[in-house]
């Protein structure tokens, strides 16, 4: 047996190669190198094998690889039986050809004077040897089409647009072949096999099996009918798989069984459920939205006012007098309209049975120093067995997560109504870009068991793409797109959800997003019990991986989504305000965190001003050089345009989210160590004020308003309650609870230790209470005038102006005015019955500043009533001199001046 070994390092992942392997335990050290897709992987696990044949479907094979296991377990090498897998003439381990339509196979191969054949084996017996390919039941000759792939195929599969086209005989019945092991092979003129590979099948599956009929369980008074859109496809071996129904609406604990649940049954619906649409808080325009992002467990896990059985779960939202409930009602009264909940569907990473959870005694953790690594060591030791995970590990999209429920085998949903009664609408975080499991064996694999190779996006070699994390889905395929749209309609109709936030939206096709938006918008109160026109959708429009630059079709990236009314997160304003990016140096400063470099400060200011004008690509402003430019002509440090939207509701302005450090932690890290905690609190508020008073939709991470800390953890997805603790009693902000977990933070520990060890960094209860009040004031200011929530790009261009621009600007100061019309005066229409003119001044400087402008002279401006009455004595010192048009603003302060009508 020959062996040609190659190794690949890929944490926590494993390649499913449809062969048997012989494992030999070796004591010699092996160096690892990155290998091409399809390379074999080292394995780890609590096992010791001598010479034993191991199937890749066995448990040890599936466990993956972790570099920390080397010293204890030794190394295992995989020897491939190459005679049955590959030769120098090709490989059946790869699927480098594409059956793109019923009549065409695409393959990047040169046939010349030779010939090309499609081969099929009903028993998965195809093998490639030095003598050629053996084991076929069917062998069909393919003819090359010299015209290449037709335009519709090139458009659907842009990553293979230059492949050669081979015509399938028109009389061939393809359907039975799709249940076989398939390959294509080329042969020289002397009949010897020159190349061979497997086939990727999504194209022909879409051609032959696209289906618009009912799926899942359908209920009538007499019976339940089950419709499953399942195909049996070869995975190069005969497999028997067990999977839940992807259209399941109920699951037993941990998804062991699909439950038949009729969500339309009166026995399941809470009282008055069908009339909930009439209880929803009013939303006149998406421009009126403001979003508060919250993790279900964080909301109540540490709330002592919540019954222990309810803490961290759905039912905590049904309580009216908990600290969290009182806080949410306070935010709702101030202006927050939507609560965005992190994933609530069935995800992996948390056992649904609470009695299986492990935990660390908080009293033990509290004894360690604030800069100790002991806390994180104890937390990470049980992090995969506790009750905490953000939930971005999708297993089934259409069923609520059982671990949050009081009964993991029951029906869930009435708690959503409670949030509506707080005056809040509900956004669900949906993760359609990837799935946690794949392959025929993984307990968390569903879609890849049902139609192998279809639902998950593959690379040119036929292996699953992992750019989003793991197991990227392929919304460019018909039934994947349909499942996404159907799932959204299910949550909207059956659970009365008011909006959806799309994780890594850029990995979904633009067409899919538009279909989803249109489908949701078509829902009506009369027919569906839902007003679809009030459902807002937004997401992360990042453009990377295999979809970058429309590599798999026109994707829903920032620069493609404009014109749809779908929102996308504006990382430009975040990075300009705070400095750097999540991928840059942690100490790189921004506009509010102390940036002193004149040119960079001025450019950051331009980026922020564009963001405050809703990131509109056609908004015209004067830049730091004194030139009139459009938002799309202001460039990021990477050279891409800052602005990309066509209307204000297409931008989500934010400075922090669940990803990366909290706002307070970023401020504490980037600002000079010698400044006081009071100054850091002001900077936290300053950053929030820019988002709160900008045009577009403001987005706030839960805890921004209470100076929330995760002890500098940059990725707390699995860091447990200890690092993610939210205290709505305002007693602590969770700063200094130990060095954050090693996995994502260890390189920065030397920066973190002196900050965490310094007691002066930690805010007191008085600081937290002041922060809540200041945040509420900002929201009340935003909702005091429709001028902060303009609905069209034209209205923003006509009414919003930035002063203090050009080369003679006062550094570190943004001055924005918003003008309203006057009754009976030609020009602007009148929108605000109370204020005719508003000026917002952001002073990021550590000193008081004065700014004078002739265009702002002789107005009857006065400090906003909310700030006049504020408990923040510093902001009350802001002044305006009408004769000089001069404003004086205290250090690190945002002041709002208004011109009341009739004064």
190 included as an active-site residue? no
Select from 501, 534, 561 the last residue of a domain: 561
Task: Using pLDDT thresholds of 50, 70 and 90, give the confidence band for residue 75.
Answer: very low
Assess if residue 375 is contained within a domain. Answer: no
Do 194 and 93 form a contact (C-beta atoms < 8 A)? no
For residues 275-286, average pLDDT: 92
Query: Is the confidence at residue 803, as pLDDT, over 60?
Result: yes
Do 395 and 446 form a contact (C-beta atoms < 8 A)? yes
Closest CA to 703 of 677, 730, 668: 730
What DSSP string describes 248-268? -S-B-GGGSSB----TT-TTT
Task: Using pLDDT thresholds of 50, 70 and 90, give the confidence band for residue 34.
Answer: very low
Which listed residue (245, 386, 503, 721) is catalytic? Answer: 503
What range does the domain containing 140 cover?
Answer: 97-209
Residue 808 burial class via C-beta count within 10 angstroms: exposed 0-12, middle 13-18, buried 19 and up:
exposed
Residue 275 sits in a domain of what CATH number? 3.20.20.80
Q: Are 425 and 542 in the same domain?
A: yes
Residues 291-346 have pLDDT tens digits of 999 999 999 999 999 999 999 999 999 999 999 999 999 999 999 999 999 999 99
Assess if residue 463 is contained within a domain. Answer: yes
Do 119 and 60 form a contact (C-beta atoms < 8 A)? no
Residues 718-772 have pLDDT tens digits of 999 999 999 999 999 999 999 999 999 999 999 999 999 999 999 999 999 999 9
What DSSP string describes 512-543? HHHHHHHHHHT--HHHHSS-GGG-EEEE----
> Which one has a higher pLDDT value, 38 or 97?
97
Assess if residue 69 is contained within a domain. Answer: no
Assess if residue 201 is contained within a domain. Answer: yes
Which tokens hold the place of 61?
């094979």
Please give the Cα distance from 22 to 173 (Å, whole number).
39
Q: Are 461 and 557 in the same domain?
A: yes
Closest CA to 239 of 553, 542, 451, 97: 451
Query: Is the confidence at residue 20, as pLDDT, over 50?
Result: no
Please give the Cα distance from 258 to 346 (Å, whole number).
12
Q: Quick one: angle between helices 571-578 and 663-670, nearest 10?
A: 40
Q: Are 499 and 437 in the same domain?
A: yes
What's residue 72's pLDDT?
Answer: 24
Do 756 and 370 form a contact (C-beta atoms < 8 A)? yes
* 3-state class (DSSP) for residue 609: helix
Which residues make Cβ contacts (< 8 Å) with residue 757, sequence separation at least 6? 369, 370, 371, 736
What's residue 236's pLDDT?
Answer: 62
Residue 869 sits in a domain of what CATH number? 2.60.40.1180
Chain-centre distance for alpha carbon 700: 15
Which listed residue (245, 540, 650, 715) is catalytic? Answer: 540
> Which one has a higher pLDDT value, 881 or 4?
881
Residues 685-711 have pLDDT tens digits of 999 999 999 999 999 999 999 999 999
Closest CA to 303 of 324, 328, 317, 319: 324
Q: Are 336 and 465 in the same domain?
A: yes
Q: Are 423 and 466 in the same domain?
A: yes
Query: Is the confidence at residue 201, as pLDDT, over 50?
Result: yes
Residues 522-540 have pLDDT tens digits of 999 999 999 999 999 999 9
For residues 608-634, average pLDDT: 97
> Which one has a higher pLDDT value, 208 or 44?
208
Do 836 and 818 form a contact (C-beta atoms < 8 A)? no
For residues 353-376, average pLDDT: 97
> If you search the block for the tokens 């633009």, which residue do you land on?
510
Alpha carbon distance, N-terminus to C-terminus of the chain: 94
Select from 540, 561, 582 the last residue of a domain: 561
Assess if residue 610 is contained within a domain. Answer: no
Which residues make Cβ contacts (< 8 Å) with residue 187, sequence separation at least 6? 114, 115, 116, 117, 132, 193, 194
pLDDT > 90 fraction of the chain, expressed in percent and rounded: 80
What's residue 26's pLDDT?
Answer: 26
Strand ranges in 694-812 using DSSP code E only, listed in sequence order: 697-701, 800-803
Residue 136 sits in a domain of what CATH number? 2.60.40.1130
Assess if residue 825 is contained within a domain. Answer: yes
Beta bridge partners of 885: none
Assess if residue 457 is contained within a domain. Answer: yes
352 included as an active-site residue? no
Q: How many domains does the structure of the chain reveal?
A: 3
Which residues make Cβ contacts (< 8 Å) with residue 676, sequence separation at least 6? 760
Q: Are 200 and 259 in the same domain?
A: no
Q: Are 169 and 298 in the same domain?
A: no
Q: Are 195 and 256 in the same domain?
A: no
Q: Are 133 and 277 in the same domain?
A: no
Q: Are 203 and 287 in the same domain?
A: no
3-class SS string, 668-725: HHHCCCCCCHHHHHHHHHHHHHHHHHCECEEEEECCHHHCCCCCCCCCCCCCHHHHHC
Residues 831-864 have pLDDT tens digits of 999 999 999 999 999 999 999 999 999 999 999 9
Q: What pTM does this model have?
A: 0.90
Query: Is the confidence at residue 356, as pLDDT, over 90?
Result: yes
Q: Are 502 and 454 in the same domain?
A: yes
What's residue 31's pLDDT?
Answer: 29
Please give the Cα distance from 606 to 590 (Å, whole number).
12
Select from 156, 186, 209 the last residue of a domain: 209
Least confident of 30-39, 227-236, 486-495: 30-39
Please give the Cα distance from 483 to 465 (Å, whole number).
20
Beta bridge partners of 555: 509
Assess if residue 282 is contained within a domain. Answer: yes
Please give the Cα distance from 42 to 30 (Å, whole number).
10
Q: Are 323 and 424 in the same domain?
A: yes
What's residue 188's pLDDT?
Answer: 94
Do 126 and 119 form a contact (C-beta atoms < 8 A)? yes
């Amino acid at each position: 047996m020959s062996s040609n070994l190659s190794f690949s390092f890929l944490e926590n992942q494993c390649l499913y190669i449809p062969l048997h392997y012989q494992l030999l335990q070796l004591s010699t050290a092996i160096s690892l190198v990155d290998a091409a897709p399809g390379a074999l992987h080292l394995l780890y696990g609590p096992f010791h094998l001598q010479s034993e044949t191991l199937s890749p479907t066995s448990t040890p094979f599936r466990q993956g690889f972790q570099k920390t296991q080397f010293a204890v377990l030794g190394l295992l090498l995989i020897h491939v039986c190459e005679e049955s897998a590959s030769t120098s003439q090709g490989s059946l381990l790869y699927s480098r050809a594409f059956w793109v339509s019923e009549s065409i196979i695409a393959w990047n191969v040169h046939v010349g004077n030779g010939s090309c054949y499609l081969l099929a084996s009903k028993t998965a017996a195809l093998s490639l040897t030095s003598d050629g390919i053996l084991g076929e039941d069917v062998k069909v000759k393919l003819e090359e089409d010299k015209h290449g792939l037709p335009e519709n195929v090139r458009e659907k599969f842009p990553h293979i647009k230059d492949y050669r086209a081979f015509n399938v005989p028109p009389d061939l019945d393809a359907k039975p072949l799709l249940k076989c092991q398939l390959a294509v092979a080329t042969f020289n003129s002397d009949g010897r096999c020159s190349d061979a590979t497997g086939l990727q099948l999504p194209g022909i599956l879409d051609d032959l099996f696209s289906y618009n009929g009912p799926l899942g369980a359908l209920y009538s008074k007499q019976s339940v009918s089950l419709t499953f859109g399942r195909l049996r496809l070869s995975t190069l071996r005969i497999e028997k798989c067990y999977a839940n129904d992807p259209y399941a609406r109920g699951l037993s604990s941990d998804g062991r069984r699909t439950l038949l649940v009729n969500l339309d049954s009166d026995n399941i619906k809470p009282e008055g459920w069908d009339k909930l649409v009439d209880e929803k808080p009013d939303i006149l325009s998406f421009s009126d939205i403001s979003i508060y992002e919250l993790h279900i467990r964080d909301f109540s896990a540490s709330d002592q006012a919540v019954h222990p059985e309810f803490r961290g779960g759905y039912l905590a939202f049904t309580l009216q007098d908990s600290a969290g409930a009182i806080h949410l009602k306070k935010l709702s009264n101030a202006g927050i309209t939507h609560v965005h909940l992190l994933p609530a569907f069935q995800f992996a990473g948390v056992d649904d049975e609470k009695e299986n959870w492990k935990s660390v005694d908080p009293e033990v953790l509290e004894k360690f120093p604030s800069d100790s690594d002991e806390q994180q060591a104890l937390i990470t030791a049980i992090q995969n067995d506790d009750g905490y995970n953000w939930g971005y590990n999708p297993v089934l999209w259409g069923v609520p997560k059982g671990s949050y429920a009081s009964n993991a085998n029951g029906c869930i949903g009435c708690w959503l109504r409670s949030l509506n009664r707080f005056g809040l609408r509900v956004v669900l975080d949906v993760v359609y870009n990837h799935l946690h499991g794949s392959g025929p064996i993984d307990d968390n694999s569903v879609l890849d068991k049902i139609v192998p190779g279809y639902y998950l996006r593959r690379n040119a070699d036929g292996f699953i793409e992992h750019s989003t994390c793991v197991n990227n889905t392929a919304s460019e395929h018909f039934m994947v797109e349909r499942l996404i749209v159907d799932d959204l309609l299910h949550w909207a109709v059956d659970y009365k959800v008011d909006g959806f936030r799309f994780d890594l939206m850029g990995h979904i096709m633009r067409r899919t997003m538009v279909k989803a938006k249109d489908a949701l918008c078509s829902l009506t109160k009369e027919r569906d019990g839902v007003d679809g026109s009030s459902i807002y959708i937004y997401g992360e429009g990042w453009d990377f991986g295999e979809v970058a630059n429309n590599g798999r079709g026109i994707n829903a990236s920032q620069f493609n989504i404009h014109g749809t009314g779908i929102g996308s997160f504006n990382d430009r304003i975040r990075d300009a305000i705070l400095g750097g990016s999540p991928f840059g140096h942690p100490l790189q400063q921004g506009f509010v965190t102390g940036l002193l470099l004149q040119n960079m400060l001025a450019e950051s200011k331009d980026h922020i001003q564009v963001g405050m004008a809703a990131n509109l690509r056609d908004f015209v402003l004067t830049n730091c050089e004194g030139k009139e430019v459009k938002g799309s002509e202001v460039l990021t440090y990477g050279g891409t345009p800052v602005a990309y939207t066509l209307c204000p509701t297409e931008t989500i302005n934010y400075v922090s989210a669940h990803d990366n450090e909290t706002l307070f932690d970023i401020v504490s890290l980037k600002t000079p160590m010698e400044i006081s905690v009071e100054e850091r609190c002001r900077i936290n508020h300053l950053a929030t004020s820019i988002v709160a008073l900008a045009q577009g939709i403001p987005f706030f991470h839960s805890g921004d308003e209470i100076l929330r800390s995760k002890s500098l953890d940059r990725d707390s997805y699995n860091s447990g309650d200890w690092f993610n603790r939210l205290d709505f009693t305002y007693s602590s902000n969770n700063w200094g609870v130990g060095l954050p977990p090693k996995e994502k933070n260890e390189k920065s520990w030397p920066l973190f230790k002196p900050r965490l060890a310094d007691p002066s960094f930690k805010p007191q209860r008085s600081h937290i209470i002041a922060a809540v009040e200041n945040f509420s004031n900002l929201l009340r200011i935003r909702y005091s005038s429709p001028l902060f929530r303009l609905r069209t790009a034209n209205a923003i261009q006509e009414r919003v102006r930035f002063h203090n621009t050009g080369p003679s600007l006062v550094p570190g100061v943004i001055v924005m005015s918003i003008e309203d019309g006057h009754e009976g005066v030609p020009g602007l229409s009148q929108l605000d019955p109370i204020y005719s003119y508003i000026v917002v001044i952001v002073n990021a400087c550590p000193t008081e500043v004065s700014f004078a402008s002739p265009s702002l002279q002789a107005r009857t401006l006065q400090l906003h009533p909310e700030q006049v009455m504020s408990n923040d004595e510093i902001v009350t010192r802001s002044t305006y001199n009408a004769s000089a048009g001069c404003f004086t603003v205290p250090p690190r302060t945002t002041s709002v001046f208004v011109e009341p009508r009739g004064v």
